[in-house]
Structure formats: structure tokens, C-alpha cells
Amino acid sequence: MLDACHHDPRVLDVDVEQVAFVDPEHASHLHGHHDPAERVDPPGGSHRSEHRRRWGRRRAGERHDRDRNDRTAKKAGEPGPTGQNGRVPDPLPADLPARFYVTTPIYYVNDVPHIGHAYTTVAGDVITRWRRLFGDEVHYLTGTDEHGLKVQRAAEARGVTPQEWADATSARFVDTWRELQIANDDFIRTTEPRHRAAVQAFLQRVYDNGYIVKGTYEGLYCVPCEAYYTDDDLVAGNCPIHDRPVDHVVEENYFFKLSEFGQRLLDHYEAHPEAMQPEGRRNEVIGFIKQGLRDFSMSRTSIDWGIPLPWDPDHVTYVWFDALFNYCTAVGYGSDPERFDRWWPVDYHLIGKDILRFHAIYWPAMLMAGGLEPPRCVFAHGWLLVGGEKMSKTKLNQIFPHDLIADFGVDGYRYHFMADQRFGPDGDFSYESMVARYNSDLANNFGNLANRVLNMAVNYCGGIVPDRRADGPLREQAADTFAAQADAFARLDFASGLAAVWDLIRATNSYIEDSAPWALHKAGDADATADVLGDCLEVLRIIALLTSPVIPNAAAELWRRLGLPGRPDDQRLPAASAWGGLPAGNVLDKGAPLFPRIEA
């Protein structure tokens, strides 16, 4: 048995642990906009009930129809069929992983990756890592969108082939995601043979089902959007997204009969309101559908940088049909039916609000036309604005992840974009607020807590985790923190989830101030000192665990300093969040500050 907390007379009674905390956390400029219209209903309710629901579905070989039925039959929080007290027994043993498929948009290769692209991709990564902590089998997909007029023109302008241009730019996305430590399972490129084959198989099916017909199109087209507009869509005569003139075009092409899907889409969103999030965007989509849907053009003869229609190869596929189908290609549509059946329908399509209509209207209708199920959830977040404006090449206001990583590190980068604003409304990015948040949350609150607790444990307890802990107020708060974070992350509200963890960090710092272990130590009360530090070290373990999906490097380093084997990622929630997981006797390592302050 180890001493509770041994007093080493060689250790000086330094008071470095009594560092005062600057806490500008509540400075309003650090927070994203709060828009009550952005309410989010988690698909299936709270994380716990969502998770439980998932334990009960997608067993190997199980059909999705049943899942669908299960899902509609019972809403989260309602008592299950056998639940007298509202608790539903887990229908399957907990060692069967749930499957979870999440995607980002595939990014156009006419642009290089900027913080707007990275925003969606980091969010997808955080939800991926979070679900993996619960033992879920996650498939995280991102990639690049490489066909279309813009790419053809960009390549022509540079005197290279479209493929050469696509190869060069796609590689920059791959590199950026590697730099940001994105844990994607696949990176799809629409110029890959697997995609061409899958798109052609699907198109043939939709054509055979009678939902693709030939027609003449005359109208307005915005090249940067790769989209057609009506007069009503334009703002002051310009494209509503790019604020630039649109082209007038007359073409013979194939049309997708979207007009036939209005009622089915309305029925779908009525039966599955969680399928379009947040609520404000769902209302937008429903309003749009109710105005009446028009058939849309899905082929071109004027360009050849695309996938030829299998029944009429003079036409290439219109970019949205091609691009959207990447989500199905990647999980084996047309090549591996069993695999496809395991992963489809997708759980989350994460997108920016700019491509809402394509994902929430065109895409489910296309899937229905091809006999496939619509996505379980499309989640549209707002834009990251710079100086109040959307980033664009022409405005020269793009910010690149690499430049910020150089200043803030990978964890500092990832933390900022997840914590600074809610994933839903628009939010403004500013370098100054990034510095302020980094210093306040990471250097002061998180870093200082780790530093002072480890320092005190080394100085007062000989660098060994004591075998005593008070099991004081932090125990309950840690449990509440996990519950609040799980609930928020289930709604993709990363900022609130992280705020809950930072409340625990602040509470632990206050607990240290109140219980003053340095004074207990000075008074020679080794047991009381151990009680307090035992609790604080346990909180550090829980914090390392809960922050690991967002700041994987600092979390792993804190884990190591606590003498814990492996990495937080190897742990399993919810069990690992239970109080008391830090073994007494672990050898501590105080290390250098995890987040050195940044002077602006």
C-alpha cells in the first residue's frame, strides 16, 4: 500500500500553484451568435437513447426497413414496449458495435482548402472520434468534387488537363486533412473509376424507372454555383450566393423529374423531422418544397469533363447528380451490395447552408427515384464569415488552416472552431478572438489546471497518484459534465458540449482555490492534501477523455502524464467516464505547459 501522500522535505513550499486565473470566458465577443430559430432535435433524442436505439439496430445482415420501422415506432423518451418505468432493456449485447456513417461535402477542386472547408471537416472528425469512443463502428467520408465547367475552365486557363488540375488540388485537400489529423476512413474523388461505374449504374436505374426525360432548357445559370436559377431567386439581378451576373442558356438536356417528388418529400420530413437539421433550415426546406418543385437539368452536351450518361454518351452528367452520388459510391453502391446495405442510409450529411437545397430536396428525391432510402439526417451549418462576409477567392479574404496551425497548433485550431460558435448559425472569424479564446480556455483554464495539479501532486505527493480521494463535489459535477456533453454532441452542438467541460475545468480550479492544498500541505495534513489532489487528478483523467475528440494531442499527452497506458481514444464511454478510473500508484510526469500562452 502506498503512502497517501508523502511529504518530501527536499521539495520547497513553492506557491506556483496559486496562479490567479484570468477568465475572460464570458466576454460576449467570444461567443457565436445565438439564434433561437436554430433549435436542433437530435435524431432519436438524447445521445443515450440514441445510442441505445442504435445498439438495437443494424445487426449484421439486418435489413434497414426494420430499422426504419423501429425508428418511427418509438420516439426517444417514450416508454418502450416492455418498459413499465420507461426504460427499455438493451435488446442486444453491448459488445455489438453500432454503425455510424458520416460525410462532409466533397469540395470543389477549383479552390484550395480554407477554414470554411475545414470547419465542416473538423466537425465531422469530432463526431467520428466521439462515436468511436462509444465503441461505434464509424465510417467517415470526405473527398473532392472534380467534374464540371469550373474545373474545365480553370484547367484550360492554366494550360493543363482537367485531370492534372484536379490531381494537384485534390492533393492539397488530402494534405490539409492530414495536417489537421482528420480521421477519415476514405477520401473519394469523383474522377475515380469506382465513382464513374457507380454513377452510371444509378443513373440507368433512375432512367429505367422513368424519372429522367429529355427536354429543352432555357434559363439562368450561375457557373460558380453550377446551378440554375429562376428570376425570383436572383438578388438585384445577380446570383444570390455569388452576387454576380448569371448566364442565359438554351440547351437540350436530360431532366430529372423532381416535380413528382414534392408530396413524397413533404411526407418524408413530416414522418422524420429529424432528417433535416436544424429546425430553422428544415422550415426553409419545407417552405421551398411547398412552393412547388421544378424538374431540373441533369446533363450537358456543351462540356465533356464529366461522366457520360450510359444510354446517351453525348451527354455528361450534370454536376449535382454526379457529386451527390459520391456518398453512395464510397460505401459500395453497384460494386459491393452487402457493404452498401450495411452502411446506407447515411446517418449524417454535414453541409454548409449554401448547399442545403441540393442535399435536402434534390438528393432525397434522387434516391427515392432510384429506390434507395434518403439520408437519416442532413445537418446544415452556417457560414464562417470574415469581417462579416463569406470567404471567397475574389474577395481575397480567404484564410488557410496551415497559417493558423502555425500559430495555434493543431489542437488550438480544432478547439477554436468547435468552441467559438454554435454549429448551425453563421459566425464571424477573427484572429484576435482566436488568440483571446486560446489564452483563456486552453492556456489559462485547461493548461493551468493540468499544470498546477500535476505540479502539486509531484511536490506534495512525490509524483504518485495518491490512494485517497475525497470524492467531493467534483465527482457529481464530472458525471453531470459527461451527460451534458453527450447530450450536446448528440445534437452536434459542439460549443455547448465543450462549454460543459470547461465549466468542470473552472469548477476544479475554484475547488483548488477553496481547499488550498498548499496550505493543507504546509500544515502537514498529508491525508487532506491527498484527498483534494486525488480528486483533481481524477478530474484531469476525465477531462483528457472528454476532450480527446477535439484536442487529441493535448488529451493524449495529459493521459500520459497521468501515468495511464495507451491513449484516451482506446477508452470506452460511458464506462470510462465513471469516477475513480485513475489508479492509485500511477507515476506522474508534470511536463511543460500544454498550451503556452500566445502574445497577440
Per-residue three-class SS string for 135-168: CCEEEEEEEEECCCHHHHHHHHHHCCCHHHHHHH
Q: Is 338 exposed, middle or buried (0-12, 13-18, 19+ CB in 10 A)?
A: exposed
113 binds ligand MSP (CB under 6 A): no
Annotated catalytic residue within 242, 353, 402, 590: 242
Residue type present at position 376:
R
CB nearer to ligand MSP: give 93 or 388: 388
- Tell whether residue 145 is a contact of ligand MSP (CB under 6 A): yes
String of contacts with ligand MSP for each residue 548-587, x by CB under 6 A: ----------------------------------------
Q: Which stretch binds ligand MSP (CB under 6 A): 35-43, 244-252, 320-328, 481-489?
A: 320-328
- In angstroms, the Cα distances linking 366 to 24, 126, 256 are 49, 29, 8
**Which one of 43, 56, 105, 497 is in contact with ligand MSP (CB under 6 A)?**
105
Contacts of 524 (CB under 8 A, 6+ apart): 7
Q: Which is nearer to ligand MSP, 176 or 326 (CB)?
A: 326
Q: Looking at 7, 353, 390, 402, which residue is catalytic? A: 390
Q: Does residue 391 touch ligand MSP according to CB under 6 A? A: yes
Candidates 225, 377, 461, 536; catalytic one: 225
Determine if 108 is a binding residue for ligand MSP (CB under 6 A): yes
- For residues 106 and 323, is the Cβ–Cβ distance under 8 A? yes
Distance CA 548, CA 479 (A): 17
Least distance CB 384 / ligand MSP (angstroms):
4
Size of the site for ligand MSP (CB under 6 A): 21
CA–CA dist 206, 311 (Å, integer): 12
For residues 410 and 595, is the Cβ–Cβ distance under 8 A? no
Please check whether residue 490 is in contact with residue 46, taking contact to mean a CB–CB distance below 8 angstroms. yes
Is 390 one of the binding residues for ligand MSP (CB under 6 A)?
yes
x-or-dash string of contact with ligand MSP, 450-479, rule CB under 6 A? ------------------------------
Q: 120, 191, 297, 509: which one contacts ligand MSP (CB under 6 A)?
A: 120
**Catalytic residue list contains 195:** no
In whole angstroms, what is the distance from residue 57 CA to residue 190 CA? 31
Please tell me what DSSP assigns to residue 301: S
Is the distance from CB of 175 to CB of 117 less than 8 angstroms? no
Torsion, Cα 311 314 319 323, to 10 degrees, reads: 50
Q: Which stretch binds ligand MSP (CB under 6 A): 106-114, 243-251, 505-513, 547-555?
A: 106-114
In three-state form (DSSP H/G/I as H, E/B as E, the rest C), the secondary structure along 12-41 is CCCCHHHCCCCCHHHCHHHCCCCCHHHCCC
| CB 424 to ligand MSP: min, Å | 11
225 is catalytic: yes
Least separation in angstroms between residue 407's CB and ligand MSP is: 20
143 binds ligand MSP per the rule CB under 6 A:
no
Q: Which of 289, 298, 294, 281 is nearest to 262 (CA)?
A: 289
> Can residue 140 be called a binding residue for ligand MSP (CB under 6 A)?
no
Which candidate in 74, 117, 272, 416 is catalytic?
117
Least distance from ligand MSP to the Cβ atom of residue 68, Å: 23
- Residues forming beta bridges with residue 250, ordered by sequence position: 218
Query: Is 353 designated active site?
Result: no
Smaller CB separation from ligand MSP, 116 or 466: 116
Q: Is 242 a catalytic residue?
A: yes
Query: Cβ closer to ligand MSP: 120 or 253?
Result: 120
State which of residues 99, 117, 422, 469 lies at the interface with ligand MSP (CB under 6 A).
117
Active site residue 536: no
- Asked if residue 323 binds ligand MSP (CB under 6 A), the reply is yes
DSSP string, 42-69: -TTSSHHHHHHHHHTS--TT--HHHHHH
Residue 125 sits in the site that holds ligand MSP (CB under 6 A): no
Please tell me the distance from the alpha carbon of residue 27 to that of residue 540, in angstroms, as a whole number.
25
- Cβ distance to ligand MSP smaller for residue 355 or 360: 355
- Choices 80-88, 117-125, 166-174, 273-281; region in contact with ligand MSP by CB under 6 A: 117-125
Q: Which is nearer to ligand MSP, 3 or 354 (CB)?
A: 354
Question: One of 5, 47, 150, 239 is an active-site residue; which one?
Answer: 239
Number of H helices, E strands in the chain: 21, 16
- From 75, 393, 395, 522, active-site residue: 393
- Answer for which of 55, 100, 101, 107 binds ligand MSP (CB under 6 A) is 107
DSSP letter string, 102-119: EEEEEEETTS---HHHHH
Kindly report the three-state secondary structure assignment for every residue of 423-435.
CCCCEEECHHHHH
Whole-angstrom CA distances from 401 to 313, 352, 353, 561 are: 40, 18, 21, 29
User: Judged by CB under 6 A, which of 207, 383, 446, 482 binds ligand MSP?
Assistant: 383
Among 133, 151, 212, 324, binds ligand MSP (CB under 6 A): 324
Between 425 and 466, whose beta carbon lies closer to ligand MSP? Answer: 425
* Enclosing H/E stretch for 289: helix 279-290
Pairing of strands 296-297, 247-256: antiparallel
5 is catalytic: no
Which residues between 341 and 370 bind ligand MSP (CB under 6 A)? 351-352, 354-355
Question: What's the DSSP call for residue 187?
Answer: E
C-beta nearest to ligand MSP: residue: 116
Q: How far is the CB of 51 from ligand MSP (least distance, A)?
A: 26
Nearer to ligand MSP, 382 or 466 (CB): 382
Q: What residue type is assigned to position 410 of the chain?
A: V
SS3 349: strand
What would the x/- binding string for ligand MSP be over residues 507 to 526, using CB under 6 A? --------------------
Q: Which of 51, 147, 222, 359 is catalytic?
A: 222
- Using the structure block, give the residue that is written with the C-alpha cell 483528457: 544
Provide the binding-site residues for ligand MSP, judged by CB under 6 A.
105-108, 111, 116-117, 119-120, 145, 323-324, 326, 351-352, 354-355, 383-384, 390-391
Catalytic residue numbers? 114, 117, 222, 225, 239, 242, 390, 393
